[in-house]
């Protein structure tokens, strides 16, 4: 029997995941700025206050450090909080709580106290939100021991990653690319929780490995389709988990294709792409027929003007041109 599908947006898939978590476990609650009466900055929690009440869907003051700290305390007290931070740049106001408290508590308590906290936040450019609201800082957080870092690129992951994150005994940061909230697609009627460990191969090829995550997944898939027409076939890997990295997924692919191109919306210097490149060089050097290459955002504050923002971000055309050069010289 064919699987029943329905058309849904990314933001609605996120809301379904939130609703399922609130229904399944009375310890779960959502807290953050405007998550209740306003329905969330990106409308992901719209209607949940009316459905679950103000004890389970809590509007907070405009103080990221305060409500993230409250989430850590609630997790230590046996609750399963979901803390929403509007956009990743605002998470810097809670960085002390995330890095010095949530990430270290298990270690500093000698393994006695876990912090089962999930922090959700929007990330990335492409929405003309200018320099202060268009950061891609997932790579920064992937640098920190003691937390897991996830990025949901697909409707399936937007719907299903949250429950897996809530089951984890340690802090999980779940990034949602803001440019994808309005994305519409097909999702199974019975879609539910997904395994949060491991990357996913979305397109299979023989000539080149494209490694990416988040909204750049769709740029890589578009590039792979264009390259296929000219006789170049690509593996396209969605990392999904940025810490820990499923490095075996790209090691295995590189052993087949012998070339790797990493597409990362973060800035190039000190990027997640740099880390992946180093791991391939360290562990799969003799599988390579060409140097690993990277496409990242231009190292400037994100411009507001649409044409300039597009010029700053990785684009399909650049992926295609780089891939052709890597194959044909």
What is the separation of C-alpha 209 from the centre of its chain, rounded to a whole number of angstroms? 20
Tokens of 326: 């890597």
Give the residue from 159, 188, 217 where a domain finishes: 188
What backbone torsions phi and psi does residue 198 show, to the nearest 5 degrees? 100, 150
Give the residue from 126, 161, 188 where a domain finishes: 188
Residue 163 maps to a domain: yes
Task: Over range 48-68, report the average pLDDT.
Answer: 97
pLDDT of residue 2 exceeding 90, the answer is no
pLDDT confidence band for 74 (50 / 70 / 90): very high
Residue 126 maps to a domain: yes
Residues 146 and 208 grouped into a single domain: no
**What pLDDT, on a 0 to 100 scale, did the predictor assign at position 117?**
98
Q: How confident is the model over 212-254, as pLDDT tens digits? A: 999 999 999 999 999 999 999 999 999 999 999 999 999 999 9
Residues 180 and 209 grouped into a single domain: no
Instruction: Find all residues with CB under 8 Å of 74, minimum gap 6, and list them.
Output: 29, 81, 117
pLDDT of residue 309 exceeding 60, the answer is yes
Please, are residues 41 and 34 in contact by the beta-carbon 8 Å criterion? yes
Give the residue from 188, 217, 250 where a domain finishes: 188
Percent of the chain with pLDDT over 90: 99
Residues 206 and 169 grouped into a single domain: no
User: Which residues participate in catalysis according to the annotation?
Assistant: 64, 133
Residues 51 and 182 grouped into a single domain: yes
Please, are residues 98 and 72 in contact by the beta-carbon 8 Å criterion? no
- Check which CATH number belongs to the domain holding 237 and give it: 3.40.50.920
Residue 195 maps to a domain: no
Instruction: Find all residues with CB under 8 Å of 51, minimum gap 6, and list them.
Output: 19, 22
Task: Over range 294-313, report the average pLDDT.
Answer: 96
What distance, in Å, lies between the first and last C-alpha atoms of the chain?
A: 48
The partner residues of 119 in beta bridges, in order of sequence, read 83, 173
**What pLDDT, on a 0 to 100 scale, did the predictor assign at position 32?**
97
Residue 194 maps to a domain: no
pLDDT of residue 1 exceeding 90, the answer is no
Tokens of 179: 């440019």
Burial class (CB in 10 A: 0-12, 13-18, 19+), 147: buried
Residues 15 and 120 grouped into a single domain: yes
Neighbours of 128 (CB within 10 A): 15
Residues 39 and 180 grouped into a single domain: yes
Residues 113 and 206 grouped into a single domain: no
pLDDT of residue 304 exceeding 90, the answer is yes
Residues 150 and 235 grouped into a single domain: no
Host domain of residue 275 = 200-328
pLDDT of residue 144 exceeding 80, the answer is yes
- CA gap 93, 135 in Å, rounded: 14
Residues 25 and 70 grouped into a single domain: yes
- Check which CATH number belongs to the domain holding 99 and give it: 3.40.50.970
Q: How confident is the model over 160-182, as pLDDT tens digits? A: 999 999 999 999 999 999 999 99
CA gyration radius, the chain: 20
Q: How confident is the model over 182-209, as pLDDT tens digits? A: 999 999 999 999 999 999 999 999 999 9
Residue 317 maps to a domain: yes
Residues 145 and 279 grouped into a single domain: no
Residue 193 maps to a domain: no
Which secondary-structure segment (H or E) carries 241?
strand 241-243
Residue 55 maps to a domain: yes
Residues 167 and 206 grouped into a single domain: no
pTM of the model: 0.96
pLDDT of residue 3 exceeding 90, the answer is no
Residue 58 maps to a domain: yes
Residues 53 and 143 grouped into a single domain: yes
- Structural domain count of the chain: 2
If DSSP codes are grouped into helix, strand and coil, which group holds residue 245?
A: coil
The partner residues of 5 in beta bridges, in order of sequence, read 188
**What pLDDT, on a 0 to 100 scale, did the predictor assign at position 329?**
81
Percent of the chain with pLDDT over 70: 99
């Amino acid at each position: 029997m064919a699987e029943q599908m329905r058309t849904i947006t990314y933001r609605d898939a996120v809301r379904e995941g939130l609703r399922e978590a609130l229904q399944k476990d009375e310890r779960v609650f959502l807290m953050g700025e405007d998550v209740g009466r306003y329905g969330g900055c990106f409308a992901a929690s719209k209607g949940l206050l009316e459905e679950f009440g103000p004890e389970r869907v809590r509007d907070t003051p405009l103080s990221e450090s305060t409500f993230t700290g409250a989430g850590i305390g609630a997790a230590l007290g046996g609750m399963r909080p979901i803390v929403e931070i509007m956009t990743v740049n605002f998470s810097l106001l809670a960085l002390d709580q995330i890095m010095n408290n949530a990430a270290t508590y298990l270690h500093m308590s000698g393994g006695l106290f876990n912090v089962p906290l999930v922090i959700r936040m929007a990330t990335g450019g492409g929405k003309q939100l200018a320099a202060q609201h268009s950061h891609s800082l997932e790579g920064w957080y992937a640098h920190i021991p003691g937390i897991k870092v996830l990025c949901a690129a697909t409707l399936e992951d937007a719907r299903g990653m949250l429950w897996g994150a809530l089951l984890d005994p340690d802090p999980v940061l779940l990034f949602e690319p803001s440019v994808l909230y309005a994305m519409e697609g097909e999702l199974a009627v019975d879609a539910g929780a997904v395994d949060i460990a491991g990357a996913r191969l979305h397109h299979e090829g023989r000539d080149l490995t494209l490694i990416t995550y988040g909204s750049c997944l769709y740029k890589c898939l578009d590039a792979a389709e264009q390259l296929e027409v000219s006789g170049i076939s690509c593996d396209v890997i969605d990392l999904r988990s940025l810490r820990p990295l499923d490095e075996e997924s790209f090691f295995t692919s590189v052993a087949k294709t012998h070339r790797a191109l990493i597409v990362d919306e973060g800035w190039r210097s000190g990027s997640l792409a740099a880390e992946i490149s180093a791991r391939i060089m360290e562990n799969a050097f003799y599988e390579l027929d060409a140097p690993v290459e990277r496409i990242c955002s231009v190292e400037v504050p994100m411009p507001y003007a649409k044409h300039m923002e597009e010029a700053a971000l990785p684009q399909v055309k650049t992926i295609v041109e780089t891939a052709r050069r890597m194959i044909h010289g």
